[in-house]
Structure 1
Amino acid sequence: MKKIGVLTSGGDAPGMNAAIRAVVRKAIFNGVEVYGIQHGYQGLLDGTIEKMELGSVGDIIQRGGTKLYSARCEEFKTEEGQQKGIKQLQKHGIEGLIAIGGDGTFMGAKKLTEKGYPCIGVPGTIDNDIPGTDFTIGFDTALNTIIDAIDKIRDTATSHERTYVIEVMGRDAGDLALWAGLADGAESILIPEVKDDFGEVIDRLKRGHERGKKHSIIILAEGMGSGFDYGKKIKEATDLETRVTVLGHTQRGGSPSASDRVLASRLGSYAVDLLIAGKAGRMVGIEKNELVDHDIVEILNTKHSVDLNLYHLSNELSI
């Protein structure tokens, strides 16, 4: 293999730039040319493809977002769109592709692999919702951004003796809410993977209020619905002064943590190794701090799950 491409697709995540850097430099180290595809699969269809050199990825390891930009592309989901993308790959002589993103990105990689273009998926999403890896690129940074925000909110919650509902991202997965809630001592954590017991949430708030607790923090995963609706329900059930904060896209931004930079560097480099070794249709990941790779089809057909031991531990510590 003499030429490979790299793209980022879907929602951006801190650490994507570190992964791009690793792909480019590991490939060049092994005598392989690298072509950067801007704006994900949309850029592939549009032909916004440029050769990357060592200097192309200089001074980006510490930057959030993605140098290659990102976009969602409905056209690429069609047979016609995929054939159009293949023509662009052929035009530039690209023999393999590394796609950095989430499950939608991996679906595109799967389709290309089935049509004869070897692809490797690198999990980059703050949601941490990709099976086959303990952590995805961006999760640790987003988690620390959330924790920093909760710490600040706790200060004002204490000052005004209020209950705060904090809505965090995660799409249909509860990892961000679960880890943030445990790390910051939230009274209740509400995630899609566990049935919502509103009565228990209210009982816990009342018990705390009765023993003189001045404030409470409740973490709500966005997959559970609107934080404002939940806050209204709590106010009606308890008559406690309740405020709601939706952290939104601040969770996606910022300089990647050391953990995300190292993870991205390891996964990006390993993806290049797999392509050079002639492997295709794989996703790279990390399990128990060891690099692993899985069949993309199996990953796409596997349901994500959270560590319920952490959920139960949080409940035990928030009595």
Structure 2
Amino acid sequence: KKIRENSEIIDLKKGEYVFQFHGESGALFFIEEGTVSLIFFGRNSIQYLPGQTFGEFGFFENQPRRCDAVVESETAKILKIPKESVQSLSSEDLLRLYEYVGKRVTGLLQGEDMYSHMEVLIVQDGGCAPGYDSVTSFLVQQFEGMGMGVYAAKEGFKSLVSGTHGDFVSLIWEKKAYQLYSLVPRIVFAPSLRDQRGASFRAERFPEFKSSQNQDKAVNCLRERGIKAVVAIGGNGTFMGAQALSNKMKDDKIQFFFIPATIDSDIYGTECIGEHTGVEMGAEKLRCYMGDARTHKRCYLVEMMGAEGGFHALHSAIGAGAALSVMPTSVLNLEKLSHQINEREDTVVAVAEGYGKHPPHDVEKRKEAGSASKFLHNQIKEAGLVNPSKRVIDEPFSRDIRGATPNNKDIFLSQIMAKKTLEMFLAGETNKMPTVNASIVDSIDFSEIKTDNNVHNYEVTLSDSLKVLT
């Protein structure tokens, strides 16, 4: 009551300033009605609600304001508390006030205010692919450029289920804003992610997210933080997770988007971030095996990515000039294949990891083999037609390509998809995936997305120089 007697009531409308960057300081503000956002270098960073205070640093420091404070609601009633108003307080009341303000400052430094309200949330999930962090970086650039705060779940969908402040990071593009926030925990400078290997904001796969109970926890997390847009990055599993959340939040005003990042290009209807680097690295990997096979007069069966479609194995084999690419659905003439291995001095075959998992192959034998390359090797052995003097080596599945540095093509694709995502958001669209085909930029509705980018038979024939596919 004593503070209020010596304070000023400010009535403001939407878009008006409580204070501005580099403005006069030395006062604390208490919101009686309405909402106020703090804007750091054009970025909407923290939102305050009725019953909350803001401006604590200025109250202590008497230094120019570090940001703008703007009214978000239609109207707002705010109590401006100058330092002079507390001089009449008793020592006991003064101690209580400073204890409160001290806790508020501590909360700011611990990020409690920043992570209680978030506008745009990025969720990386699924298996890693070159370009996850690239598109994340460009999304921050695009959305922050429109004055929006961008955040990421630390460990994909798992963080949404956990839902604590510590499960999120703040991504900042503007360097001055990043330096200003340097004391706040979990602040990431987004430009540094542009060429980053791997995916910085996910951990092991989280199959538990398939349960409706965990999805409900994620829904509550999104609602509590007032999130306006969710951008999920990944492959088919990530898409299904984003779609499940969207289906549960049809009556909410949250906009959902999905950006495909997958080495095997297993999202139909678009180029996928990571596929170009994947093919480049995969082809070089096969060239290395071809050099060794030529040196030692061997046959290598090299297992590569391709659980269903086989895009990666096929295009890597064609690019390298390997003798054959075996798709998940391929059926081989083992007699012809054995003859070719016998006749050739050296042979390298790319085998998609999904080969043998479905009929007409013996699915049980495929499980026993443990890998597609071993299964094919066993088939060749059982045929008993390869010359015993010819050394045939099966190379198991390797995940090294996932950690490759994204090439220029995937970085460019990341930029395009980030820009298109912002455009769809501003247009009020939701449940959309940006698409790029032969430089034509468009979008696909969630209901039209197919999670199996089947390769064309015409392309498969290009990889069969041995003429053994039936």
TM-score normalized with structure 2 length = 0.63
Instruction: Determine the structure 2 residue equivalent to 1:229.
Output: 375
Instruction: Determine the structure 2 residue equivalent to 1:4.
Output: 120
Q: In the alignment, which of 140, 146, 149 is matched to residue 33 of structure 1?
A: 149
**Structure exhibiting the larger radius of gyration computed from Cα positions:** 2
Q: Is 1:198 matched up with 2:334?
A: yes
Residues 317 and 201 (structure 1), Cα distance of their counterparts in 2 relative to 1, 3 Å cut: closer
Distance 1:263 1:87 in 2: 33
Q: Is 1:314 matched up with 2:463?
A: yes
Counterpart AA for 2:209: F
Distance 1:140 1:20 in 2: 18
Q: In the alignment, which of 237, 240, 253 is matched to residue 104 of structure 1?
A: 237
Q: Deviations over 1:235-294 (max 9, x none)?
A: 532122111222511121121111111111211221122122211111122112211211
Q: Is 1:50 matched up with 2:50?
A: no
Distance 1:316 1:160 in 2: 21
Counterpart AA for 1:234: I
Report which stretch shifted further, 108-117 or 276-285.
108-117
1:49 offset after TM fit, Å? 1.8
SS at match of 1:59: helix
SS at match of 1:293: strand
SS at match of 1:315: coil
Distance 1:285 1:311 in 2: 24
Residues 184 and 270 (structure 1), Cα distance of their counterparts in 2 relative to 1, 3 Å cut: same
Residues 303 and 249 (structure 1), Cα distance of their counterparts in 2 relative to 1, 3 Å cut: closer
For structure 2, list consecutive stretches of 5 or more residues without a partner in the other structure: 1-43, 45-117, 179-188, 357-371
Is the 1:12–1:70 Cα contact (8 Å) retained in structure 2? no
Residues 70 and 160 (structure 1), Cα distance of their counterparts in 2 relative to 1, 3 Å cut: same
Instruction: Determine the structure 1 residue equivalent to 2:225.
Output: 92
Residues 58 and 201 (structure 1), Cα distance of their counterparts in 2 relative to 1, 3 Å cut: same
Distance 2:255 2:280 in 1: 35
SS at match of 1:122: strand
Distance 1:269 1:139 in 2: 19
1:304 offset after TM fit, Å? 2.9
Is the 2:304–2:351 Cα contact (8 Å) retained in structure 1? yes
1:303 offset after TM fit, Å? 4.6
Q: Deviations over 1:24-54 (max 9, x none)?
A: 1100011221111111111111121233211
Distance 1:10 1:71 in 2: 8
Q: Is 1:119 matched up with 2:256?
A: yes
Distance 2:445 2:419 in 1: 18
Is the 2:309–2:452 Cα contact (8 Å) retained in structure 1? no
Instruction: Determine the structure 2 residue equivalent to 1:305.
Output: 454
Report which stretch shifted further, 291-300 or 173-182.
291-300
Q: Deviations over 1:198-236 (max 9, x none)?
A: 334234334xx1xxx421111110101421232243353
1:190 offset after TM fit, Å? 0.6
Is the 2:337–2:466 Cα contact (8 Å) retained in structure 1? no
Is the 1:187–1:318 Cα contact (8 Å) retained in structure 2? no
Higher helix share: 1
Q: How does 1:132-143 map to 2 (within 5 A)?
A: 132-133=269-270, 135-143=271-279
Distance 2:415 2:442 in 1: 14
**Structure 1 vs Structure 2: percent identity of aligned residues?**
25
Is the 1:41–1:71 Cα contact (8 Å) retained in structure 2? no
TM-score normalized with structure 1 length = 0.91
Distance 2:307 2:445 in 1: 23
Instruction: Determine the structure 1 residue equivalent to 2:9.
Output: none
Q: Is 1:158 matched up with 2:289?
A: no
Distance 1:224 1:318 in 2: 18
Q: CA RMSD in A?
A: 2.1
Is the 2:432–2:444 Cα contact (8 Å) retained in structure 1? yes
Distance 2:204 2:155 in 1: 5
Distance 2:449 2:432 in 1: 9
Counterpart AA for 1:53: I
Distance 1:273 1:32 in 2: 14
Is the 1:187–1:204 Cα contact (8 Å) retained in structure 2? no
Q: Which has the higher contact order (CA 8 A, sep 6+)?
A: 1
Counterpart AA for 2:464: N
Q: Is 1:244 matched up with 2:244?
A: no
Instruction: Determine the structure 2 residue equivalent to 1:272.
Output: 422
Q: In the alignment, which of 103, 109, 134 is matched to residue 18 of structure 1?
A: 134
For structure 1, list consecutive stretches of 5 or more residues without a partner in the other structure: none
